[in-house]
Amino acid sequence: MLRRSLSRLCAGEEKRVGTRTVVVGHRPVSETDAYVAQKFCDNRIVSSKYTLWNFLPKNLFEQFRRIANFYFLIIFLVQVIVDTPTSPVTSGLPLFFVITVTAIKQGYEDWLRHRADNEVNKSNVFIVENAKQVQKESEKIKVGDIVEVKADETFPCDLIFLASSSSDGTCYVTTASLDGESNFKTHYAVRDTTVLCTDEAIDTLTATIECEQPQPDLYKFVGRIIIYRSNQEPVARSLGPENLLLKGATLKNTKKIYGVAVYTGMETKMALNYQGKSQKRSAVEKSINAFLIVYLCILLSKATVCTTLKYVWQSNPFNDEPWYNEKTKKERETFKVLRMFTDFLSFMVLFNFIIPVSMYVTVEMQKFLGSFFISWDKEMYDEEIKEGALVNTSDLNEELGQVEYVFTDKTGTLTENSMEFIECCIDGHKYKDCISEVDGFTQTDGPLKYGKAEKSREELFLRALCLCHTVQIKEADQVDGLIGHPERKYTYISSSPDEIALVKGAEKYGFTFLGLENDFMKIRNQKNETEMYQLLHVLNFDPVRRRMSVIVRTTTGKLLLFCKGADSSIFPRVQQEEIQQTKVHVDRNAMDGYRTLCVAFKELTQKEYDKIDRQLNEAKMALQDREEKMAKVFEDTEADMHLIGATAVEDRLQEQSAETIEALHTAGMKVWVLTGDKMETAKSTCYACRLFQTSTELLELTVKVVGENERKEDRLHELLMEYHKKLIQDVPKNRGGLKRSWTLSQEYGLIIDGSTLSLILNPSQDSSSSNYKNIFLQICLKCTAVLCCRMAPLQKAQIVRMVKNTKGSPITLSVGDGANDVSMILEAHVGIGIKGKEGRQASRNSDYAVPKFKHLRKLLLAHGHLYYVRIAHLVQYFFYKNLCFILPQFLYQFFCGFSQQPLYDAAYLTMYNICFTSLPILAYSLLEQHINIDTLTSDPQLYMKVSDNAMLQWRPFLYWTFLGAFEGLVFFFGVYFLFQNSSLEDNGKVFGNWTFGTIVFTVLVFTVTLKLALDTRFWTWMNHFVIWGSLAFYVFFSFFWGGVIWPFLKQQRMYFVFAHMLTSLSTWLAIILLIFISLFPEILLIVLKNIKEKSHQTGPFDLPRLVSYKRIENGYVKTEDAVTNLAERHPLRIL
């Protein structure tokens, strides 16, 4: 019987896959049918990565996948297995420190996730069983359970809404924890179950739910419920997103609701949304890997040279086997090749510290701790929404300082998304301002068409505005944070600000929407009479159709369809002779920068309505391809309509958005606006926000220019070749070679729309030009600004991907505020979400979120610039100090017969990177401000000084490498010449090799630390503490290490060495002199630079590394000394 009933209900439906059947309340449909419970996952949420048992192996496996960690593990194993000159502790302890610190950090983060999971999983919920409420833990909810949720509680799993305490079967929900939207959303119970609003009543329900398998889209749901009643045919109802209550959402302004669990635990939409976000990597990591390869080559070459020279030196029998050190029998019988390989490994171990393993931990700590400065920035805190900036990933901080292309949405990003009704036109007549009850609308001066429309047409237009929307009414005192009109006791709620503006516009002109009650929409007309309209169907808005419709029945039985939408989607569906008179107004309003919507209607016969009703219900009942089937019905229904008029709504520019775009442009970034709006509206906004200047020559590739006939591809080809010739072929080559300089004296702007872009990216098969895309891209890259209008969300991502994959891989940044911007935010190197009024999908999927577009200026020009300079300096400094460390060890081999004798004590080898030199560079990389933040923000040209990864190019890398090599030579040979006088004490005692190594090490530690002090421009108490504290700790440790006889050491080779060394005046003088000689080139550069600046009458304006910074060539700054002049305007005091 069940199968027969279902087949009748769903006649003609194709075989379905990927669906699940849920039995409501676990009650079988028929007593004769055996009930076999389906197996679904439980309601436990698991966001943690590790368990107590797998933490150690899993974490170690992940850490050793990193090349540097794996390399040091191999070195450590070689030290354990092979007889090497240094103790395994020297490699093992730093590696252990790095692994332990990382494991503790990841373990702590995972413990927090475990704790958060337990709070959710152990929370109490109420389930209806046998007409009674049973309290259970949330994790014990099963699919099919009927759950009761009370006001202000969060939904414990994804529920189908069955009934509520409200008689109309509605409830209000906030989804702030899911998508950040704080506005109330209305959800609707299944029509046939709204009366089951008690425990006893809901327990009598016998029903099954068929729905799609879990998928992460928060705004899509397809299903149907089949309700069985005794001695009656089963009733089937469609289920959509309006019937689904999502886990994590909160019930508001409703005493209680009943729902049946359909998705639980890790199959809820909330859990599915926390998985699968792609990992982005910064350009700095690529530079680090390239530098590592260079230093690995240096290491291999050192080991190879020493191994070769050892055997050359030992070719002399006296050197190979002196009389005091004869070889054993085993050594003589060992294969020479094996001995050479063992020696090679020993030298690798001896020099392995040239690879900075601790750099990875320091970089991670710098990124993690540095990201807090963005969150703490008070200037990026917005009083209106009471929120500041948010960092979703700290891996890309330095990428903010390297952006070349900025792709921005318009509505809600450049504009406020705060709509105000400005004017409208009815049958070509323009109306503005308020109306009088007697005369109707009043006209403004200078209308395009004089006179007024018929009174009936005016009323029809206003009724359309009052009826064609999804606005809800809520009592003002019941809605948190919403303040209604002072003259009314209610406020309008909608997910779209446009709809509220239109309803308020109609209210201003005498027609007031009073709300929806029991499927009847109430409006009050100009005569203060209440009109009732039965709402039969809502054809919801979607970005593809770009329109929405309602079908209503009047009290006289007349059936009307009202439709509103973009002109491009309405005009093709109305009578063609009605278009022109309205189109004039629409174009004029768009030129003024207003958002326009057209309004149309159609009267339906009962027969037409019955057909539409049947088709809509069939489409709604489909489990497969529901959206496509409904779109087909919508397309057929919204045809042959009559145009009534159009509306104009103003969306004001955000505060300082024009200044921000101007600053980004001055900083060398190219700004592209990608919007779904009309070309005229977007173009007007681009002029207002200074993307286009009055001097900018605009090149258009739009339907208006290309045309829509058969020759449109030929016309497009002609335009592309014309623009290509103008921008590229006729312009002389730029010899400067600077990547970011405009090569054109005339600025060009490009405007393209979605349909033309589709033609370029997907030309027809018989098209003669398959290289449209390359020509178009060359034109785009030569334009100072680009406007892409009428863009679909995927087209936005296509544009970003196209630019991102061009030669040179420019760093791209996308910024948007709505769900339609998510695809381009995920596509770009850096994604910025605006915490706007279109929900929080953009900020949830972004790398960084800011309250307003204006905050982008400081985020990039100040934070981005500083983050890049800090981390670039950190990377170069690490390689430099490790080269200084190991080069004397390499040179020492030439004076000890290549015997692999270490120069430094094992304790110094171990603690050099861990303790003696780690904290100063970490503090520098967090706190350094080589230029004042206000200066960086107010002078965008400084951003170009670090553009194109300037501080991590090969030139500055070679500079640091040669500096490290020079200082290493000074350390070794300076001490070597000191030791030419074998007696450094008055009593004639001779210092040994450990004293030699300790003097070299002391000069090394002091030099690399003081080098960082010379580079520091922004001194804080923390810098002073870690720099001078590190040096004091080294001295203290050396006294302590050499002042005690340690029982666990076989040889007490450092006993009293450091203290004894400092008794010699010659040693003191040598240390001070060598430190000065090592730092002399740096000091000389700073002095010469200051003299040059003073000769230009400038203040002491200094940058951290002369060779790491680029000069700004012509194009952005007219004179070569532009930055010098900049320093005159903003002198900084060196502390």
Pairing of strands 124-129, 19-23: unpaired
CA distance 684 to 587: 12
Q: Are 333 and 883 in contact (CB under 8 A)?
A: no
Amino acid identity for residue 898 in this structure: F
Point out which residues pair with 501 in neighbouring strands.
none
CA distance 534 to 554: 7
Six-digit token pair at 669? 């970034």
Six-digit token pair at 979? 């030791």
The one-character DSSP state at 702 is: S
DSSP letter for each residue of 146-194: EEEEETTPBPSSEEEEEEESSTTSEEEEEEHHHH-EEEEEEEE--GGGT
Backbone angles phi, psi at 1107, to 5 degrees: -80, -10
CA neighbours within 13 Å on the CB side: how many for 402?
A: 24
Contacts of 740 (CB under 8 A, 6+ apart): 404, 668, 944, 947, 948, 1115, 1116
Six-digit token pair at 561? 């369809």
Q: How many CB atoms lie within 10 A of CB 189?
A: 25
Burial class (CB in 10 A: 0-12, 13-18, 19+), 978: buried
Sign of CA dihedral 856, 861, 863, 868: positive
Six-digit token pair at 269? 């939409």
Q: Are 1070 and 973 in contact (CB under 8 A)?
A: no
Return the CA Rg of the chain: 37
Query: Which amino acids are annotated catalytic?
Result: 409
CA distance 177 to 220: 18
Q: Write b or e for each residue in 890-915: b if 16 or more Cβ atoms lie within 10 A of its Cβ, otherwise e.
A: bbbbeeeebebebbbbbbbbbbbbbe
Pairing of strands 181-188, 256-263: unpaired
Point out which residues pair with 135 in neighbouring strands.
126
Contacts of 242 (CB under 8 A, 6+ apart): 186, 187, 188
CA distance 923 to 933: 18
Alpha helices in 928-990 (DSSP H): 933-938, 954-978
Closest CA to 55 of 7, 9, 92, 100: 100
Query: Which single residue is written with the structure tokens 């950090």?
Result: 105
Q: How many CB atoms lie within 10 A of CB 690?
A: 18
CA distance 547 to 556: 27
CA distance 643 to 461: 10
Backbone angles phi, psi at 738, to 5 degrees: -80, 130
Six-digit token pair at 275? 């998985």
Contacts of 124 (CB under 8 A, 6+ apart): 135, 136, 137, 138
Closest CA to 759 of 746, 772, 745, 768: 772
DSSP letter for each residue of 208-254: EEEEEPP-S-TT---EEEEE--TTS--EEEEE-GGGEEPTT-EEES-
Q: Are 523 and 465 in contact (CB under 8 A)?
A: no
